[in-house]
């Protein structure tokens, strides 16, 4: 079907509004969604520029919100958040600015809390094999959250030592 420029603009606007109704999106995400619908690049650019002008799209605010929500809900490391923001098409400078919300202490405290919650009460920490198995499981969990192996081992070692001292 051949569409006029006005029809493409109307379609593109509808797609953008539907996407934004679902939640905040980056310019890059919206650009990809319009490309999927085969909206011509000139129309895409004009629509996205207009949506930015009226502040319906704001990558800096999106990055700040993304870091806050993913830190609170998923306890991800800054490295993992940085990768996610890059996947969303956020400019590296904007990403670094948003990541300043999470300090080294915040990240470490968050990881400690997560390991404390996930440490199995049934794990026999006095048995070397059982303790090693639990340490590997917890280090793996932190690794999946984006923590470096060194930091993950250090954090798990601290929490296991606390648990042994308390138990």
pLDDT in tens, 59-99: 999 999 999 999 989 999 999 999 999 999 999 999 999 99
Taking only the tens place, the pLDDT of each residue in 24-57 is: 999 999 999 999 999 999 999 999 999 999 999 9
What CATH number is associated with residue 9? 1.10.10
Question: How many domains is the chain built from?
Answer: 3
Same domain, 94 and 128: no
Same domain? For 51 and 66 the reply is: no
Q: Are 115 and 137 in contact (CB under 8 A)?
A: no
Same domain, 115 and 150: yes
108 and 80 within one domain: no
**pLDDT tens by residue, 133-163:** 999 999 999 999 999 999 999 999 999 988 8
User: How far is Cα 73 from Cα 94, in angstroms, rounded to an integer?
Assistant: 21
> Do residues 113 and 161 share a domain?
yes
| Enclosing domain of residue 141 | 104-166
């Amino acid at each position: 079907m051949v569409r006029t420029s006005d029809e493409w603009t109307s379609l593109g606007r509808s797609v953008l509004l539907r996407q934004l109704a679902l939640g905040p999106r980056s310019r890059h995400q919206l650009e990809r969604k319009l490309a999927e619908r085969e909206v011509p690049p000139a129309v895409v650019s004009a629509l996205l520029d207009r949506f930015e002008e009226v502040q319906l799209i704001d990558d800096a605010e999106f990055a700040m919100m993304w870091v806050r929500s993913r830190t609170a809900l998923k306890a991800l490391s800054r490295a993992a958040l940085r990768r996610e923001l890059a996947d969303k098409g956020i400019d590296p400078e904007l990403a670094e600015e948003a990541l300043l919300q999470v300090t080294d202490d915040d990240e470490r405290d968050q990881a400690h809390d997560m390991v404390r919650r996930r440490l199995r009460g049934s794990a026999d920490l006095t048995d070397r094999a059982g303790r090693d198995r639990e340490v590997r499981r917890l280090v793996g969990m932190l690794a999946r959250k984006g923590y470096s192996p060194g930091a993950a081992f250090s954090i798990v070692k601290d929490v296991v030592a606390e648990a042994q001292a308390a138990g």
